[in-house]
Structure 1
Amino acid sequence: MPKFKILRIYEVPGKDQTEASDRMMAALELGVERDYHMSDYIKPADDKLAKSQRVSLKPPKGWGALILDQLLGR
């Protein structure tokens, strides 16, 4: 079975790398890293020269959200 690398890109504010790292670690501990999440990319694990492709790793909508979308025309 082939393997893939999935890269998550975060944009974290900070005056230097240490402060940004500390903020990211705190966000991970609190479970709010999605606040800093920017995008996701995927590429084959064994091909170092392959170009990464952008992907969406959002979970699918639940049935309640789908019903609201239908009712409200979103």
Structure 2
Amino acid sequence: MKTKVFKFILPLLVIVMAVSFAFATNSTSDNQIAHYFDPLFGWQSVVIGDECGPVGENACEFMGKQLYSQPTTESIALRKD
């Protein structure tokens, strides 16, 4: 009798806990996708933090290459303060 109860209750408890933990987590950082042009590989994407945006004094760069909001040089060049 005990094993039947444990075989049913234990997996159910684990599933309920997994679902509750999935909803309990909260992401605090807003990551965004930026794009840069590599002469060998073309347009590449990279995840950046929220420090880069459309305004600022300094250019946002990844490995020495200017970051853009879209994979084209006509898009907004990302900058930071």
- Whether the TM-score (by the shorter chain) exceeds 0.5 is no
TM-score of the pair, normalised by structure 2: 0.22
Pick 1 or 2: higher relative contact order, CA cutoff 8 A, min separation 6.
1
Greater fraction of residues in helix: 1
TM-score of the pair, normalised by structure 1: 0.23
Q: Highest Rg: 1 or 2?
A: 2
